[in-house]
């Protein structure tokens, strides 16, 4: 028995050594029993450009398998594509291979996660310069805000693993039989990027949710996908907008309709309201400054210049009338000698 276990661990170590070092984006986990089948759910609408769909998957924690809901995630850079993680079979154990970001979609065991991840590569869209175009044959987007779309059913049929099974692991008893294609092997040798902090926080939240574990939900989680994109708080939205600057210039103010956040609409309305608020107080003091000096300059000097000469003329004329009384006294002196 011990020899058998030692052989299993030796085979597991050998498999890990054969995996390219560039594909490491987390810690490999091995479990002795298979994960449940993938649940069927509806993909939420993509609310704005530049978001990539990351399908839901079964992860493993201290209390067994738990479901990590699917979510829309901001692409970490232009041209980035997400390769989902998958459960593979090796040495009698189920080994989880973490997902990663890269310029091409690599091998993910042929697992049909849906929504473009049909088992081989990715049929959900493609990058066109700084913009990502969504294939609406398998992607659900809000076309009021997302205008870079197309329809291609042929690629969906070619990239779908035959059988349409909802099995969540590759190889082993009852697992999916799909060997890596040449392009998938080439993608595994490319430079890869680990999941973003938004994805890590999202998986940690699912691990802490007791309702996401199979032993509590029987393989039917209540939350299969989240409608709100990851990283949409104030700080994260600023990061998303700075990364989408080339799109904002080429789409002619499309981000204003993309986000629909109240801060964006307030920033747009404030410049239009400020000139109106400033023009009202400016029009009020102008008539006040013109009316106040007008009565001071016209009324006060007028009575001063007109009132002063009039009393002087009257007073001077009064003493001039006194000598007129002297001739009336002379006849009195003429009658005395007579």
Q: What is the pLDDT of residue 27?
A: 58
Q: How far apart are CA 234 and CA 170, in angstroms?
A: 40
Is residue 6 assigned to a domain? no
Q: Which of 10, 41, 85, 1 is nearest to 223 (CA)?
A: 41
For 256-315, what is each residue's pLDDT tens digit?
333 334 333 444 444 444 434 343 444 344 444 444 444 444 444 444 444 444 434 334
Tokens of 109: 């065991």
Q: Is the pLDDT at 26 greater than 60, yes or no? A: no
Beta-carbon contacts of 12 under 8 Å, excluding residues fewer than 6 positions away, are 30, 90, 91, 93, 95
Q: What is the pLDDT of residue 265?
A: 40
Q: How far apart are CA 216 and CA 265, in angstroms?
A: 43
Is residue 183 assigned to a domain? yes
Q: What is the pLDDT of residue 29?
A: 83
Q: What is the pLDDT of residue 162?
A: 78
Q: What is the pLDDT of residue 144?
A: 94
Report, as an integer, the average pLDDT of 250-260.
36
Is residue 286 assigned to a domain? no
For 178-191, what is each residue's pLDDT tens digit?
999 899 999 988 99
Average predicted confidence (pLDDT) for the chain: 73
Higher pLDDT, residue 132 or 21: 132
Q: What is the pLDDT of residue 163?
A: 67
Is residue 306 assigned to a domain? no
For 317-335, what is each residue's pLDDT tens digit?
444 444 444 444 444 444 4
Q: What is the pLDDT of residue 312?
A: 40
Tokens of 62: 């201290």
Q: What is the pLDDT of residue 243?
A: 37
Q: What is the pLDDT of residue 76?
A: 95
Q: What is the pLDDT of residue 292?
A: 45
Q: What is the pLDDT of residue 19?
A: 42
Tokens of 119: 């088992």
Q: Is the pLDDT at 244 greater than 80, yes or no? A: no
For 206-227, what is each residue's pLDDT tens digit?
999 999 999 999 999 999 999 9
For 36-79, what is each residue's pLDDT tens digit?
999 999 999 999 999 999 999 999 999 999 999 999 999 999 99
Beta-carbon contacts of 300 under 8 Å, excluding residues fewer than 6 positions away, are none
Indicate the number of domains in the chain: 1
Give bridge partners of residue 131 from the DSSP assignment: 128
Q: Which long-range contacts (C-beta less than 8 Å, at least 24 apart) are formed by 297-303?
A: none
Is residue 327 assigned to a domain? no
Q: How far apart are CA 75 and CA 50, in angstroms?
A: 6
Is residue 319 assigned to a domain? no
**Owning domain of residue 187:** 27-258
Tokens of 171: 């190889």
Is residue 278 assigned to a domain? no
> What value, to the nearest 5°, has the Cα angle with vertex 331 and ends 326 and 332?
90
Q: Which of 34, 11, 14 is nearest to 94 (CA)?
A: 34
* Residue labelled with tokens 């904002």: 248
Q: What is the pLDDT of residue 336?
A: 43
CB-CB contact of 85 with 108 (8 Å): yes
Q: What percent of the chain has pLDDT over 90?
A: 54
Is residue 148 assigned to a domain? yes
For 99-149, what is each residue's pLDDT tens digit?
999 999 999 999 999 999 999 999 999 999 999 999 999 999 999 999 999
């Amino acid at each position: 028995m011990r020899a058998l276990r030692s052989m299993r661990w030796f085979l597991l170590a050998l498999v890990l050594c054969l995996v390219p070092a560039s594909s490491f984006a987390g810690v490999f986990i091995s479990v002795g029993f298979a994960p449940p089948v993938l649940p069927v759910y509806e993909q939420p609408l993509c609310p704005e450009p530049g978001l990539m769909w990351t399908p839901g998957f079964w992860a493993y924690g201290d209390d067994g398998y738990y479901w990590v809901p699917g979510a829309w995630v901001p692409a970490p850079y232009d041209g980035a594509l997400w390769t989902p993680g998958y459960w593979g079979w090796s040495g009698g154990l189920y080994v989880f291979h973490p997902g990663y970001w890269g310029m091409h979609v690599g091998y993910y065991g042929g697992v049909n996660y849906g929504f473009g991840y049909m088992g081989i590569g990715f049929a959900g869209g493609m990058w066109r310069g700084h913009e990502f175009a969504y294939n609406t044959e398998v992607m659900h987007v809000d076309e009021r805000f997302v205008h870079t779309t197309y329809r291609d059913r042929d690629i969906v049929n070619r990239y779908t693993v035959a059988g349409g099974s909802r099995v969540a692991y590759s190889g082993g008893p009852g697992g999916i039989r799909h060997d890596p294609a040449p392009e998938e092997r080439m993608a595994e040798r490319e430079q890869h990027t680990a999941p973003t902090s938004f994805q890590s926080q999202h998986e940690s939240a699912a691990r802490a949710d007791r309702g996401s574990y199979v032993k509590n939900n029987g393989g039917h989680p209540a939350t299969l996908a989240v409608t709100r994109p990851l990283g949409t708080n104030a700080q994260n939205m600023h990061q998303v907008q700075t990364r989408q600057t080339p799109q904002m210039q080429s789409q002619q103010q499309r981000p204003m309709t993309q986000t629909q956040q109240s801060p964006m609409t307030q920033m747009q309305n404030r410049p239009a309201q400020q000139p109106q608020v400033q023009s009202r107080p400016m029009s009020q003091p102008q008539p006040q400054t013109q009316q106040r000096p007008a009565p001071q300059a016209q009324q006060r000097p007028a009575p001063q210049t007109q009132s002063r000469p009039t009393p002087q003329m009257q007073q001077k004329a009064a003493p001039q009338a006194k000598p007129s009384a002297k001739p009336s006294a002379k006849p009195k002196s003429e009658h005395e000698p007579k």
